[in-house]
Amino acid sequence: MEDRICLCDLDIKQYPPTFIVAGARDPLGLTESAKKAHEMLETIGCHSKLGIYDGTHGFCGYPVQMQQALTGGCDKHWKQTAHSAMLDTIDFCNKHHN
């Protein structure tokens, strides 16, 4: 197991409902990894939701406080993107909370 470093490396048969959040402009390619993980989870029958939002590495616009810190308190970006991600996360959790 020590040679497996991400979700797609695992040979899993089931997985809990999962919401994957990624930044559309991630310079490390994590958006593509997120898409592959989402597809893999759907293939095994897991409920998976993929949220790709305008942002960079790991979608740094989320949580809101991080975006505000990175932009010197400017709230324009989070109101447009991080806010949507937060609402989608809340919706996902409400639908899948036991």
Q: Where are the domains of the chain?
A: 7-96
Distance CA 96, CA 60 (A): 24
Q: Which two tokens stand for residue 30?
A: 């994590």
Burial of 60 from C-beta contacts in 10 A (0-12 / 13-18 / 19+): middle
Quote the pTM value.
Answer: 0.74
Peptide bond into 63 cis (omega under 30): yes
Helices (H) and strands (E) in the chain, counts: 4, 2
Mean pLDDT within 14-31: 86
Cα separations in angstroms, 38 against 18, 50, 68, 76, 79: 8, 6, 29, 29, 26
Residue-wise pLDDT tens digits, 23-52: 887 777 888 889 999 999 999 999 999 999
pLDDT of residue 78: 64
Give the per-residue pLDDT at 40: 92
